[in-house]
Structure 1
């Protein structure tokens, strides 16, 4: 199966746990991987005005990937979606930070673009509202149905 891994916002700004960084790093070494990094630009997304908080102005992905896309808000950019369409993949595996916000926003954009999003449930963590990610995983299953684990994907790579 032609697939790519999308790593959502695994960056210092959001203080990802080491187990997540290590897990994504090991998994991304086995599959084509792209990432989003969320940066602050108040002119594009007024985080400070609306929430009194904002992500860093400069940051980088904490795992090595084939391509990084900078975003200024919750969802992926049109450039990322175009890049994925050009890859002609059968599905996009999604992992990363804030399962019920940024990861879910990526799922909606990928779904709407016809890119078959599949959540890697053991490589995601929720926001401070739900660190377990359970809420986001349930929302993902409700909206997109497709979830998997690293082990299931790796079996498919060898099978």
Structure 2
């Protein structure tokens, strides 16, 4: 009998303790879920500056891109850069183009020192290498704004590559230029509006709104 009374008392007080504990456990789980949800909603956005190298900065329009990148760098989580090296034989064989080989040509503009956090080298138009994809995933980057030169070549290839890889991709039209001239730049912008979405081809003046509100990642 005594043992039965003790067991009943243990069950009774255990039930009270469990009843008091459950709400606090549930509250803790809710807070944890809310924190995870809040953390997941924080989108990291980078500016990817394409090929702002001495050998490509040969027109006033191309040169003007560099100070724009520097001026707007603080609006992003980080600024990354790509750097082109002419190692694909098709450039010589099919396009008869043999530049961007020397150290002087391939160096990034000195004005970008201290602004660019990561640099990715590439031998062709697109920078979409395992190294770049891994870096984007490791740093939890959700959105990439693309700028640089040439709009009709490496900028377009970069934007389409990021789009294909599933990243929210913007092209900052007035922070891009083509060493081939304005007509090539404008033609590329028109094609990009068709291929990645017109509202994703933006101007520098739109950056504050885009970065604070987002579009597809909201």
For Structure 1 versus Structure 2, the TM-score category normalised by the shorter chain is 0.7 to 0.9
Which residue pairs with 1:40 in the alignment? 86
Q: In structure 2, how many angstroms separate the alpha carbons of the residues matched to 1:21 and 1:67?
A: 16
Gaps of 5+ in 2: 1-42, 214-218
1:48-63 equivalent positions in 2, closer than 5 A: 48-57=92-101, 58=103, 59-62=106-109, 63=112
CA deviations 1:118-150 (Å, max 9, x no partner) are 001110012415456211111111000112222
Aligned residues: 157
As a proportion of its length, which structure holds more helix?
Answer: 2
CA deviations 1:14-73 (Å, max 9, x no partner) are 1253321111121124321101010122xx443222222133223222223000001101
Q: In structure 1, how many angstroms separate the alpha carbons of the residues matched to 2:53 and 2:183?
A: 16
Q: In structure 2, how many angstroms separate the alpha carbons of the residues matched to 1:110 and 1:77?
A: 7
TM-score by length of 1: 0.86
Gaps of 5+ in 1: none
Contact persistence 1:45–1:72 (CA under 8 A): no
Contact persistence 1:101–1:127 (CA under 8 A): no
TM-score by length of 2: 0.65
Aligned CA RMSD, in angstroms, stands at 2.1
Structure exhibiting the larger radius of gyration computed from Cα positions: 2
